[in-house]
Amino acid sequence: GQQLNQSPQSMFIQEGEDVSMNCTSSSIFNTWLWYKQDPGEGPVLLIALYKAGELTSNGRLTAQFGITRKDSFLNISASIPSDVGIYFCAGPRAGNNRKLIWGLGTSLAVNP
Amino acid sequence: DAGITQSPRHKVTETGTPVTLRCHQTENHRYMYWYRQDPGHGLRLIHYSYGVKDTDKGEVSDGYSVSRSKTEDFLLTLESATSSQTSVYFCAISETNSRALNTEAFFGQGTRLTVV
């Protein structure tokens, strides 16, 4: 079945550093979504990608839809303390785009 | 922020009792979802709705039922709560976008349910 593998599971970085995380699947996806979840809150959509090779930015965040359509990457430049949280990738199941498959998340900690 | 309200935000209940969680939206979105989030499992879909009175099961639907009698409300019922249903429950909504994709889900703030 379809699964999303996120890596790394967790990261601990210094403020100002750049961050890179990725999401891979054994199946092809037509959409990649990146969410961030702050403690005690629901996930918030950061970036949506719809086309292979697409590169999209949202402030200091940049995400790319892999050419093979089996992976996606999220980069955060010049990290700040408020970047702390869990970052999830998600994508719609094949044949039913009403249902999303979720990765298990990358937990990011930023040391000021 | 998308207009999604979950109630209650916190609940403690006893094993064997029925529990109903409510999700209310003001966005008039067609699709509504209930997820549970547990450490090590990420977000798992319980049930979802694609219109009034139209619902379907997700991957962890056993022990849960849902109802949607109005566009704006989606109720999740635990018929007889068990300790394994202690979790954080999130409601989400989505709508078809300009690319005919309805995957951009917006989430409520969650309900923390403890079954003792």
Q: What is the per-residue pLDDT across A40-98, written as a single tens digit (0 to 9) for each?
A: 899 999 999 989 999 999 999 999 999 999 999 999 999 999 999 999 999 887 777 77
pLDDT(B77) > 90: yes
Pick the residue from chain B with its C-alpha nearest to A87.
B42
pLDDT of residue A98: 76
pLDDT in tens, A87-103: 999 988 777 777 888 99
pLDDT(B110) > 90: yes
Task: Tell me the residues of chain A between 61 and 90 that have a Cβ less than 8 Å away from chain B.
Answer: 88, 90
pLDDT of residue A10: 96
Name chain A contacts of B45, Cβ cutoff 8 Å: 99-100
What the block records as the tokens of B78 is: 């635990």
**Which of the four pLDDT bands, split at 50, 70 and 90, describes residue A3?**
confident
Name chain A contacts of B99, Cβ cutoff 8 Å: 50
Please give the interface size between A and B, counted as residue pairs whose CB atoms are below 8 Å apart: 56
Q: Does A94 touch chain B (CB under 8 A)?
A: no
Q: Does B90 touch chain A (CB under 8 A)?
A: yes
**Which of the four pLDDT bands, split at 50, 70 and 90, describes residue B1?**
low
**Which of B58, B104, B109 minimises the CB distance to A42?**
B109
pLDDT(A15) > 80: yes
pLDDT of residue A1: 55
Distance (Å) of CA B50 to CA B32, B38, B46, B53: 7, 25, 14, 8
CA distance B90 to chain A (A): 7
The half-sphere exposure of A89 on its side-chain side, counting CA atoms within 13 A, is 28
pLDDT(B85) > 80: yes
Q: What percent of chain B has pLDDT over 70?
A: 91
Name chain B contacts of A42, Cβ cutoff 8 Å: 90, 92, 107-110
Q: How far apart are CA A104 and CA A4, in angstroms?
A: 8
Q: How far apart are CA A56 and CA B33, in angstroms?
A: 27
Q: How far apart are CA B23 and CA B91, in angstroms?
A: 6
**Which of B48, B107, B108 minimises the CB distance to A99?**
B48
pLDDT of residue A2: 61
Name chain A contacts of B40, Cβ cutoff 8 Å: 104
pLDDT of residue B40: 82
**Which of the four pLDDT bands, split at 50, 70 and 90, describes residue B95?**
confident
What are the residues whose beta carbons fall under 8 Å from the beta carbon of A82, sequence distance 6 or more? none
Which residue type does B15 have? T
Q: Of A82, A89, A90, which Cα lies nearest the Cα of A110?
A: A82
The half-sphere exposure of B48 on its side-chain side, counting CA atoms within 13 A, is 23
Q: Does A101 touch chain B (CB under 8 A)?
A: no
Q: Report yes or no: B62 and B85 within 8 Å, Cβ to Cβ.
A: no
Q: If you average pLDDT over residues B3-20, what whole number do you get? A: 96
pLDDT of residue A97: 72
Where on the phi/psi map is residue B55: left (φ > 0), alpha (ψ -120 to 50), or beta?
beta
Q: If you average pLDDT over residues B50-59, what whole number do you get? A: 92
Q: If you average pLDDT over residues B48-60, what whole number do you get? A: 93
Pick the residue from chain B with its C-alpha nearest to A51.
B99
Name chain A contacts of B109, Cβ cutoff 8 Å: 40-42
